[in-house]
């Protein structure tokens, strides 16, 4: 066949109770706990877990191997990554994809880009940030690359 067309869909997803989804979305092989919200035009890959009450807004992409805790807010157009192009090459072995762990009550501003890092609970990521290092303190991080910022 010349062109293989598949439809975005919801496949092999383990859902908790009372999850709301605005289609079209492309979700597969992930776990989404109670009361989560998934906005339109979202893709979530396999081996992702979203804790209870977490909201993923429109246009966001959550790659495989991302774990997000409870009561988090993932803004619009947020992109997670699991490959740092080591030695300038694309990782094609899924077992070697890197992991990202996001705690609970984390707020991630819209259009942010999250490299494979640890983001602790109650951290705030400003909109448009590019997070390249772990965010371990309960502070606000913003910018490209994202750094801890002082309150104004």
* Residues that bind its own copies in the complex, under the rule CB under 8 A: 1-8, 15-24, 26, 39-41, 43, 57-59, 61, 63, 73, 75-77, 79, 81, 85, 88-90, 107, 109-111, 113, 115, 122, 124, 126-128, 130, 138, 140, 143-145
Q: How far apart are CA 22 and CA 115, in angstroms?
A: 26
Q: Among the options 55, 59, 76, 101, which is catalytic?
A: 76
Chain centroid to Cα 36, Å, comes to 13
Residue 47 · residue 29 · CB < 8 Å: yes
Distance of closest approach, residue 132 Cβ to its own copies, in angstroms: 8
Least distance from C-beta 118 to its own copies, angstroms? 17
User: Which of 39, 103 has the CB closer to its own copies?
Assistant: 39
Shortest Cβ 51–its own copies spacing (Å): 15
Q: How far is the CB of 141 from its own copies (least distance, A)?
A: 12
Task: Reply yes or no on whether 59 is catalytic.
Answer: no
Measured in residues, the chain has a length of 152
DSSP-based three-state secondary structure for 128 = coil
Spatial separation of the C-alpha atoms in residues 126 and 116, rounded to whole Å: 17
Which residues, including other chains, have CB under 8 Å from residue 6's CB and lie 6 or more apart?
A: none
Contact 69, 104 (CB under 8 A): yes
CA–CA separation, 62 and 49 (whole Å): 10
**Which residues are annotated as catalytic?**
76
């Amino acid at each position: 066949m010349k062109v293989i067309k598949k439809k975005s869909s919801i496949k092999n997803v383990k859902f908790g109770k009372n999850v709301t989804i605005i289609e079209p979305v492309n979700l597969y092989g992930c776990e989404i706990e109670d009361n989560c919200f998934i906005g339109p035009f979202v893709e979530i890959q396999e081996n992702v877990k979203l804790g209870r009450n977490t909201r993923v807004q429109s246009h966001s992409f959550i790659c495989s191997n991302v774990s997000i805790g409870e009561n988090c807010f993932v803004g619009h157009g947020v992109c997670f990554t699991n490959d740092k192009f080591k030695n300038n090459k694309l990782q094609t072995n899924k077992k070697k994809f890197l992991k990202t762990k996001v705690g609970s009550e984390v707020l991630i501003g819209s259009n942010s880009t999250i490299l494979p890092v640890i983001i602790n609970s109650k951290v705030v990521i400003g909109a448009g940030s590019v997070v390249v290092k772990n965010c371990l303190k309960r502070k606000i991080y913003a910018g490209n690359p994202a750094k801890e910022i002082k309150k104004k």
